[in-house]
């Protein structure tokens, strides 16, 4: 065999949910998956929050711990399903009292605090639309998304509001209510106290009829050009969250589960909140930031059984002394409860899979999906062989393919038709057959962009992949210019636009430069206004400017001055060429380069 394979020893007493891949795929239907959920009482529809919270209470499981929130100071607050039902009912009632109703957008700009779970699930109960933002975003991305997403309510903290929203409020006339979690609302004009509002609200709430097609979630993602795109997801997505968490994360109701993804990212929502609660597991929530010792301690002390994390985090763990001295980790921390580890968001290098086996005693199961797909689409499964470096195989209910590419790097579309790559190992654009429940239903206010993602009955992912002769998928790269940095999808246009607002900058081209830990870092090439000197001080100033405006998750980490940025004849900076030059790669077709003959 051309690749190394790892076969996971079955965890004693916990048979995997998926054992026979072919059989499970052939037996699977989405309508059967739908029947594993309860639906609203009286047949009044399907609501994510009911499936995640209230149905456990209705079936005598209300006493079970839903959340175990570990604070920055290591204090642990536990919240049962019954308590979560009451808190989310209070929040839904508070929204109703404020006149916020069906389809209104409620944004969160919060870290992983208990109130986040209340706000998300309470919003869904009220049939309003929840849109989470990264708390690491700077004021520009926050303002832009609040505007684009028609935000009516924002739930945040006093510190985040002061730093990122307060002085932009005038440009957000539709933002009717800002709810401040924790202290500080009294000192901030135009805000209300989340705690006071929810404390005063009744703790019973009847979820109104909810159509499976009602919008539930809005997730912003980035494209190569233009404004961020708001991907619309509906309540029916919960069917896919539930089924895929069963197969790809192997969740069992008795599990203690930890998802380290930021709640501002689709993973932090689909698999950090909805899917695990629908499965009725106990969710570990860490409010703190990454710290290798802290993470090992949480895995050990909280007796985490299933862990869903990201390649950057794993590479950071691998780099710590603890990780390098392999034998130290199991000796210092009791990881005996851990039975399944999965990762998503960026390519998982084979070394990380093997490191997991050696250090954690378990291989890491890579899986693949996107904001638009709403759920895991390709995965390595608990009961199946792992091919390190491969994303795995399509989840039951998903149909994937690889399409032949055209000159622009994307799928070749001729007279509306595409061609599937038949030969194993040949790369092309990864495509999926639409129709699964968590498929996005549109980009908010942008029908054209949504329609452009489909061709000939396929959804085009923008990723390049190849498929081996046994049907395993291998990630090759992006077919466009978006940058994956430490798991965040960064749109180069957003960064370029921010830099060009600095008085010294006339033009900017932004690329991802490969980095051994973050996958890529954001690097900006800027050309300066005539007469401006490219000094080290200006470089520092631009880095700080970017950080202040965009926040650490998006801002460039490197700046290079270049008075001759390569441009197409139509005047666009050629990022592809900047990247090729930076990496010493072949420059490819330059016929569109300005000045070429």
Question: Residue 130: in which H helix or E strand, if any?
Answer: strand 129-133
What's the CA dihedral at 584, 587, 588, 591 to 10 degrees?
180
Told to check if 250 binds ligand AMP by CB under 6 A, we report no
Size of the site for ligand AMP (CB under 6 A): 20
Binding mask 474-513 for ligand AMP (x = CB under 6 A): -x--x-----x----x------------------------
Q: Are 394 and 247 within 8 A, CB to CB?
A: no
Q: Which span (93-101, 126-134, 150-158, 461-469) binds ligand AMP, by CB under 6 A?
A: 461-469
Of 267 and 497, nearer to ligand AMP (C-beta) is 267
Told to check if 344 binds ligand AMP by CB under 6 A, we report yes
Min CB(398)–ligand AMP separation in Å: 14
Out of 237, 248, 266, 359, the residue judged to bind ligand AMP by CB under 6 A:
266
Told to check if 218 binds ligand AMP by CB under 6 A, we report no
Of 256 and 314, nearer to ligand AMP (C-beta) is 314
Out of 83, 463, 494, 496, the residue judged to bind ligand AMP by CB under 6 A:
463
Residue with the CB atom nearest ligand AMP in the bound state = 371
The C-alpha atoms of residue 522 and residue 504 are separated, in whole angstroms, by 20
User: What interhelical angle do 81-97 and 114-125 show, nearest 10?
Assistant: 60
DSSP state of 316: H
Q: Which span (130-138, 352-360, 367-375, 557-565) binds ligand AMP, by CB under 6 A?
A: 367-375
Of 118 and 371, nearer to ligand AMP (C-beta) is 371
Give the CA angle between residues 590, 594, 597 to the nearest 5°. Answer: 65
Out of 391, 398, 479, 499, the residue judged to bind ligand AMP by CB under 6 A:
391
Q: Which span (318-326, 340-348, 381-389, 437-445) binds ligand AMP, by CB under 6 A?
A: 340-348
Of 391 and 431, nearer to ligand AMP (C-beta) is 391
CA nearest neighbour of 539 among 556, 554, 560, 555:
560
Out of 255, 366, 494, 496, the residue judged to bind ligand AMP by CB under 6 A:
366
The C-alpha atoms of residue 364 and residue 211 are separated, in whole angstroms, by 37
Q: Are 278 and 238 within 8 A, CB to CB?
A: yes
Min CB(36)–ligand AMP separation in Å: 25
Told to check if 390 binds ligand AMP by CB under 6 A, we report no
Q: Which span (29-37, 322-330, 364-372, 541-549) binds ligand AMP, by CB under 6 A?
A: 364-372
Q: Are 560 and 553 within 8 A, CB to CB?
A: no
Q: Which span (244-252, 460-468, 490-498, 569-577) binds ligand AMP, by CB under 6 A?
A: 460-468
What are all long-range contacts of 591-594, with beta carbons under 8 Å and residues at least 24 apart?
A: 592/568, 593/566, 593/567, 593/568, 593/569, 594/566, 594/567, 594/568, 594/569
Q: Which span (113-121, 360-368, 399-407, 572-580) binds ligand AMP, by CB under 6 A?
A: 360-368
Told to check if 83 binds ligand AMP by CB under 6 A, we report no
Strand partners, 477: 464
C-alpha torsion sign, points 428, 433, 436, 438: positive
Half-sphere exposure of 229 (CA within 13 A, CB side): 28
The C-alpha atoms of residue 48 and residue 234 are separated, in whole angstroms, by 9
Out of 156, 370, 401, 438, the residue judged to bind ligand AMP by CB under 6 A:
370
Of 207 and 553, nearer to ligand AMP (C-beta) is 553
Out of 347, 383, 442, 534, the residue judged to bind ligand AMP by CB under 6 A:
347
Q: Is 102 helix (H, G, I), strand (E, B) or coil?
A: coil
Out of 346, 427, 480, 562, the residue judged to bind ligand AMP by CB under 6 A:
346
Q: What is the 3-state secondary structure (H, E, C) of 220-254?
A: EECCCCCCCEEEEEECCHHHHHHHHHHHCCCCCCC
Q: Provide the 10 A C-beta neighbour count for residue 193.
A: 19
Binding site for ligand AMP (CB under 6 A): 221, 266, 344-348, 366-368, 370-371, 391, 461-463, 475, 478, 484, 489
């Amino acid at each position: 065999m051309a690749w190394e394979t790892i076969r996971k020893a079955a965890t004693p007493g916990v048979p995997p949910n998926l054992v026979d891949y072919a059989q499970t795929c052939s037996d699977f239907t989405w309508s059967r998956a739908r029947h594993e959920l309860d639906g609203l009482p009286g047949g009044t529809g399907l609501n994510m929050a009911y499936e995640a919270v209230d149905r456990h209470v209705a079936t005598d499981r209300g006493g079970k711990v839903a959340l175990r929130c570990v604070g920055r100071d290591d204090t642990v607050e536990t919240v049962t399903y019954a308590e979560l039902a009451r808190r989310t009912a209070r929040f839904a009632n508070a929204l109703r009292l404020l006149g916020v109703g069906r389809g209104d957008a409620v944004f969160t700009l919060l870290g992983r605090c208990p109130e986040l779970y209340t706000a998300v699930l309470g919003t869904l109960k009220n049939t309003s639309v929840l849109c989470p933002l990264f708390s690491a975003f700077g004021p520009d991305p926050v303002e832009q998304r609040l505007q684009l997403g028609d935000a009516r309510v924002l739930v945040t903290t006093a510190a985040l509001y002061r730093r990122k929203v307060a002085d932009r409020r005038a440009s957000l006339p539709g933002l009717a209510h800002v709810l401040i979690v924790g202290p500080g609302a009294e000192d901030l004009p135009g805000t209300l106290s989340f705690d006071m509002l929810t404390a005063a609200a009744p703790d019973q709430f009847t979820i109104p009829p909810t159509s499976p097609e009602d919008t539930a979630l809005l997730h912003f993602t980035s494209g190569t050009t233009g404004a961020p795109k708001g991907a619309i997801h509906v309540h029916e997505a919960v069917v896919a969250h539930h089924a895929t968490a069963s197969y790809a994360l192997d969740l069992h109701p008795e599990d203690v589960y930890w998802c380290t993804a930021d709640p501002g990212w689709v993973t932090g929502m689909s698999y950090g909140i909805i899917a695990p609660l629908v499965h009725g597991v106990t969710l570990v929530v860490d409010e703190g930031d990454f710290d290798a010792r802290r993470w090992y301690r949480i895995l050990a002390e909280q007796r985490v059984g299933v862990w869903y994390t990201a390649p950057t985090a794993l590479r950071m763990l691998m780099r710590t002394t603890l990780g390098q001295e392999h034998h130290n980790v199991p000796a210092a921390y009791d990881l005996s409860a851990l039975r399944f580890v999965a990762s998503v968001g960026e390519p998982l290098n084979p070394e990380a899979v093997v490191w997991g086996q050696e250090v954690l005693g378990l291989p890491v199961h890579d899986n693949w999906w996107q904001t638009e797909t709403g759920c895991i689409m390709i995965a390595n499964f608990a009961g199946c062989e792992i091919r390190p470096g491969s994303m795995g195989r399509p989840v039951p209910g998903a149909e994937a393919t690889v399409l032949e590419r055209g000159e622009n790097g994307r799928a070749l579309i001729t007279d509306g038709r595409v061609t599937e790559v038949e030969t194993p190992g040949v790369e092309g654009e990864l495509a999926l057959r639409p129709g699964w429940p968590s498929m996005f239903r549109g980009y908010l206010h942008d029908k054209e962009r949504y329609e452009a993602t489909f061709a000939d009955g396929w959804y085009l992912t923008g990723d390049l992949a190849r498929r081996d002769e046994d049907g395993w998928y291998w990630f090759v790269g992006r077919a466009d210019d978006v940058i994956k940095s430490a798991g965040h999808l960064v749109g180069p246009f957003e960064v370029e636009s921010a830099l060009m607002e600095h008085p010294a900058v006339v033009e900017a081209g932004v690329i991802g430069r490969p980095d051994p830990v973050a996958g890529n870092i954001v690097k900006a090439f800027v050309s300066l206004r005539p007469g401006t000197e490219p000094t080290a001080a200006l470089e520092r100033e631009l880095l700080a400017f970017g950080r202040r405006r965009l926040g650490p998750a998006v801002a460039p980490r490197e700046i290079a001055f270049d008075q001759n940025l390569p441009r197409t004849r139509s005047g666009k900076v050629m990022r592809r060429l900047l990247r090729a030059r930076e990496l010493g790669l072949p420059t490819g077709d330059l016929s569109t380069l300005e000045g070429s003959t």
